[in-house]
Structure 1
Amino acid sequence: MHMSRTYVVTGSASGVGACVAGLLRERGDRVVGVDLRDAEVQADLSTDEGRERAVEEVLAATDGTVDAVVACAGISAPVPTTVAVNFFGVTRFLTGLLHALERSEAPRVAVVSSMATLQPVSEAIVDACLADDEDEALRVAATLAEQGPQVGYLAYPSSKRALSRWVRRECVTAAWAGRGIPLNAVAPGTVLTPMTTQLLSTPESVAMVDAAVPMPLNGHQSPESVASLLLWLTDAANTHVTGQTIYDDGGADAVLRGDDVWTGTVPSPAG
């Protein structure tokens, strides 16, 4: 028998977030959705004011106890706001809910990253994000955006790379592991959502996307293929998986990186 849990889902109005919220409700969990509209909590996660408001309203709606957070809110436009939403809109929102998570018997958190973490990035944006310097990250992103959409697009992979690295860094700290909270990321490939509809509208654009994101296993994926993994990562059954960015991408990571994931192996202990 499934024990009902209280979930907070950002980006709950569409795409993967809507799918996650729907699956949770179907199995009897309580869901507090966070989005710009059509959600229990309507807030703009691109600003500190919006994040603080979201945290306050979530705490009020949950009586201060949250079992799990699934952070799906994100955008891909070649503008600085992408960094504000995709990185700071996740990390600062989650940090604001730490005490509410701590009150759960089995707190869990998962965020949506992207296989775009494997694409070229702006190291300046990544570094600023990891230093929690939003002003600098947005300044760099604005400078890139001024050079046109192709260069401005760097805001997207940079924000997602920074998010996955943040998950890796934070997962073993006292704030997260010390509170017994597994913290993970899922990196999808090309997901069939409203955000990708225009991107996949012509044969030429599909060919371009598939060249950048090769998915030999089953091709473009449904939101459900991502949501089901997010549900397991945030279930009480997950007791030890933490700090991982799981590439749920039809093989894109394996094609693009091959064995490269092993180049940073831990050195043997001195004998």
Structure 2
Amino acid sequence: MKIMCLNGWGGKLHEVMLPYLTATAPDILCLQEVIHRPSSEKDWLTYRDGDHVLPQRSNLFRDVASALPDHAAIFCPAAQGVLWDGDVSIPSQWGLATFVHRSFPIIGQVQGFVHKDYSPLRFGDHPRSRSAHGVRVWDYDADRALSVTHMHGLRDLAGKMDTPERVEQAHRLRDLSSQLSEPGDLIVICGDFNVEPDSETLSILADAGMTELVTTLGFSGTRNSHYRKPGRFADYMLINTQDAVTGFEVIYDPEVSDHCPIILEV
């Protein structure tokens, strides 16, 4: 089974990302930073937050679902706020999504918030609402259940240091994974955590029996040339049984986002 985790960057590089996802065809795709605006006729809208301006695919969720037609697609909104078509404001949902190949029965799901709650009228003040989603599937080849839970961690304008809010979100993520999983499951937790490798977030998950693979296996970061700020780590993948890992890669080429895809094979 192949599991991929990726922050999609709002689909800014969708012309590269969608063919890559089609060719790679992960069995489970955990995708963060997803826009869902099915009623919009526009392909592109614009996100504006002060001097931070970013083009957004108006329905990245639909785009990826079309690229992976053999997958069940689940969208989990964190907020509905405003994107822009020129000077016209367009209410748009923002969150994360999970795609599961239909050959793997989904036998459990969990969805919840690791920070705040659903923001129905605007994206809100930083640090903003953040959600998590998990699926439990049956792997017939391995004759076992597997749970995969992912989140998009808090973005703090001050940086990636530990904060009480980040500590709380780590506890909530751990608890959501525990709520989903059963004894004997292979457990995976992943996402764009927006923290450094020495963060308390990873310590909390390590205390829960999880091994982080990006740093353990010696990768130098999860950001690429599109990310021009200091700090090369943001995305992580953890597993409760490292012996189950048959392959693990951080993909630096092609560049499909300002984050690198992370791929785990078990």
Same fold (TM over 0.5): no
| Band the TM-score falls in, shorter-chain normalisation | 0.3 to 0.5
More strand by share: 2
- Structure of higher CA gyration radius: 1
**TM-score, normalised on structure 1?**
0.34
More helix by share: 1
